[in-house]
Structure 1
Amino acid sequence: MNAPSHHSEQATGILYLAIGNTSLYREVETYLPAGTRLITLESGGEAEILAKIADCHIVVAGTIKLSRAMIQAAPALQLVVHQGVGYHDTLDVAALDERGIPIAITPDGTPTTVSEHAIMLMLTACRHTAFADKELRDGRYHVNALRLKSRTLSGSVVGIIGMGRIGKATAARLRGWGVTCLYTDPVPLSPDDEILLNARRVDLDTLLSASDIVSLHVPLTDQTRAMIDAPRLARMKAGSILVNTSRGPVVDESALIDALRIGHLGAAGLDVFEREPFSEGNPLAELPNTVLTPHIAAATRDTFKHKMSGVFNNIARHLEGLPLNNRVL
C-alpha cells in the first residue's frame, strides 16, 4: 500500500521503514502532520526501498535497517526518527552523521511494554508453560511431570544486565514478586534508586554466577555483541534461566543451544534472535525448554499509539523549527 493522506507532490514525504498491513498503515496515517504524506512499503525489498526513499524527506525507522546505500539514495533526507530506542543496529549512524542528519528516538511506552514481556518470559520459562501448552494441545496431560522441573519466581535471584530505561522498568515491576535483584551497568544507579528498586550493583561475572534468572537489557554495540558467550553461559548457575528482550546477537546462539541441550541452563525465554526473521529449522524451536516470541516485546496496540504520538510530535517539531525531543545525533 502507498496511499498518503496528503497527495500533493510538494508535501513532505515520510517513509515508514517497516512492513505492515493496510490497517497498520491507515493507523499511522492518522498521526500525519499537515503538509506531509506517508510513503509505505509493499515487499520491503532493497530495490523498492531505494526507489521510494529517493522521494522522502523524513524516515521513520522501524524493523528494516536504514543502510548507507539507502541514505545515499535519499538526497532530500532531513531527519530520521526511530520508532523505538534500539537505533545502534538499525541505522547506519556514521552515514547519517556524515550528512549531518539528526536522529531522534522514541522511548514512549517501550519500558512498560518490554519489561512486562520480560517478566512474562521469566514466568513462562520458570513454569515451562510453552511446553505444557503444546503437549496439552497434542493430547498429553502432564499433571505431575513438571513438578520437579518448574520453579517459582518468588524467592529467586534475578540479575539484570543493563539498567537503562527498560532495565529499571523491569526491576520496578519485580518489586512485588519477592525476588532479590542484582544488576550490572557501566553507570551505577543513584543510592536512592538502588533502594527504591531493591537492586544491588555487582560485576558481570558475579551476576551470572549468583542469579537464578538473567535478563538482558542492553543495546547491540561492538562491546555487547556476543557478550553472553560459551564461557559466560558456563558461569551461570546450573538450571538457571536466560531471558533476552534486547537484541539477538548479544548472545552466542550456538553456545546457548548447547547449554540448553545439555541441561546446564534450565530454560531460555527469547524475543530476539541472532538472525531475524527466525528461520525454519532453527534448533531453538526443537528444544522443549525454550519460550520463543517473534520480536514483539514492544508490540502492543497501546504502545504503538504512544510511539506514533511521540514519533509524529517530533516530526512536527522538526517541521516547525523546534528542538527535537530525545535527540541522539
Structure 2
Amino acid sequence: MSRSKIFVTRRLPISLSPLEAVAEVVLWPERQPPPYEVLRRESQRCEGLLCLLTDRIDAALLQASPQLKVVSQMAVGYDNIDVKAATALKIPVGHTPGVLTEATADLTWALLMAAARRVVEGDRFTRSGQWTTWEPDLLLGPDVAGATLGIVGLGRIGQAVARRALGFDMRVLYTAPRPVDKALEQQIRAEYVDLSRVLREADFITLHVPLTTATHHLLGAAQFQQMKPTAVLINTARGAIVDQKALYEALQAGQLAGAALDVTEPEPTPLTEPLLSLPSVIVTPHIGSASRQAREKMAQIAIANLLAGLRDDPLPHCVNSEIYG
C-alpha cells in the first residue's frame, strides 16, 4: 500500500519526523517560496499540503488536486487561501490561532516604543558619525506614559496590546464591529468608540483586524486627515489594511508624525517604495510572530492539523469546520 504524500512549502523550525513517520514528505528547500507552478504541480500529487502566507492556494490549484485531503497553514491568517473553494471541495483548512498572540503584541509594543523614542533614527545617527555631543533638542519624541492608545480590532492580539498599556497608564480607546463585554472592558480599562474618534483622539493607533473586503484600505487619505499631526500609526496586522500611497502623502503633508509597519503591500517591500525614504517610518519584515517559542508552537499546530486531516479526523484548528456538519 502506497504512503500518503505531503508537500511542505518551506523549512520549519522543528523536526518533520511526525510527518515522515506516516507519509512521504516533499520539502521545498529554498529560502524563497515555491513558484506557483511548482506549488500547483506538487499539490496535484499530494494528500496533504503544509503552506505559509506566501503561498497562493486558489480555486484553480484546489480543483486540480483531486487527492488533496487537507491544507494546513502555518499562520493564524488565511487570506491567501480560497477557503470557499476548499469548502466546496470538502477540503479542511487548518490554521494556527492563539499561539502568536503574545509575540505579536510584544512586537507591536517594540514598534510603538521605537517609533515614539526614534530608536531607529538614533541608531542611524550614531552609525553615521553624527553623534558628537549631548544636545537638548536631539531626536525628541512623544511620551508614551499617559498617552492615548487607539486600538483598531480588539481580538486576542488587540486585547494583549491593551493589557500592556496598563503598565504605561495609558488611556485606551478601541473600535471593533461590536464592543466586548463590560467585564473585559473594565479589566483592560478600554473604551469602545467609533473609528473616527479613535483617529481624532489617539496619540498611537495600532491595527489588529483581519484583511477582508471590508478592511481593505481601511485607512486611506480621508482617515489620515482626521489624525493628530503628532500621532503614530503601527500596523502588525496586514499590509493592505493601509493605503500606503495615501500614508506616504499624509506623512509628507504632516498629517501624522510617523509609522511603524511590520506588514506591507506588497510583501516583501520593494526598495523603490517611497515610505522607505522617510526617516519617520520603520519597516520590519513581517516578524510579528518571530519568537522561537511562537514559531515552534505554530509549526507543531500546523503538523497536528495536517496529521488529523490525513486520518480523516476533524482538524484541531479548522477554518471551515462546517464541512464536518
TM-score, scaled relative to structure 2: 0.91
Shift, 1:31, TM fit: 4.3
Shift, 1:232, TM fit: 0.4
- Segment drifting more, 299-308 vs 110-119: 299-308
Written as runs of structure 1 = structure 2, the 5 A alignment for 1:45-64 is 45-62=35-52, 63-64=54-55
Other-structure match for 1:284: 275
Q: Could you tell me whether the CA contact under 8 Å between 1:108 and 1:303 is conserved in 2?
A: no
Other-structure match for 1:230: 221
**Residues 37 and 108 (structure 1 numbering): CA distance in 2 closer, same or farther, change over 3 Å?**
farther
Aligned residues: 315
Shift, 1:33, TM fit: 6.4
Shift, 1:108, TM fit: 4.0
What is the CA–CA distance in structure 2 between the aligned matches of 1:144 and 1:91, rounded to whole Å?
Answer: 52
**Residues 47 and 320 (structure 1 numbering): CA distance in 2 closer, same or farther, change over 3 Å?**
closer
Written as runs of structure 1 = structure 2, the 5 A alignment for 1:255-274 is 255-274=246-265
CA distances 1:63-109 after superposition (whole Å, capped 9, x unpaired): 2221223223322111122212111x210122212212112221142
Written as runs of structure 1 = structure 2, the 5 A alignment for 1:104-183 is 104-141=94-131, 143-144=134-135, 147=138, 149-183=140-174
- Segment drifting more, 225-234 vs 61-70: 61-70
SS of the residue 1:15 aligns to: strand
AA partner of residue 201 (structure 1): Y
Q: Could you tell me whether the CA contact under 8 Å between 2:4 and 2:23 is conserved in 1?
A: yes
What is the CA–CA distance in structure 1 between the aligned matches of 2:317 and 2:136, rounded to whole Å?
Answer: 50
SS of the residue 1:265 aligns to: coil
AA partner of residue 99 (structure 1): L
C-alpha RMSD of matched pairs (Å): 1.9
**Residues 86 and 276 (structure 1 numbering): CA distance in 2 closer, same or farther, change over 3 Å?**
same
SS of the residue 2:257 aligns to: strand
CA distances 1:247-292 after superposition (whole Å, capped 9, x unpaired): 1110010010011122221110000111111102111111000111
1:249 matched to 2:236? The reply is no
Written as runs of structure 1 = structure 2, the 5 A alignment for 1:37-48 is 37-41=24-28, 42=30, 44-48=34-38
**Residues 276 and 159 (structure 1 numbering): CA distance in 2 closer, same or farther, change over 3 Å?**
same
Q: Could you tell me whether the CA contact under 8 Å between 2:150 and 2:172 is conserved in 1?
A: yes
What is the CA–CA distance in structure 2 between the aligned matches of 1:312 and 1:36, rounded to whole Å?
Answer: 12
SS of the residue 1:75 aligns to: coil
What is the CA–CA distance in structure 2 between the aligned matches of 1:64 and 1:94, rounded to whole Å?
Answer: 17
Shift, 1:146, TM fit: 5.5
What is the CA–CA distance in structure 2 between the aligned matches of 1:234 and 1:279, rounded to whole Å?
Answer: 26
Identity percentage of aligned residues: 32
Other-structure match for 2:19: 32
TM-score, scaled relative to structure 1: 0.90
What is the CA–CA distance in structure 2 between the aligned matches of 1:28 and 1:95, rounded to whole Å?
Answer: 31
Other-structure match for 1:13: 5
Q: Which ranges in structure 1 are unaligned for 5 or more consecutive residues?
A: 1-8
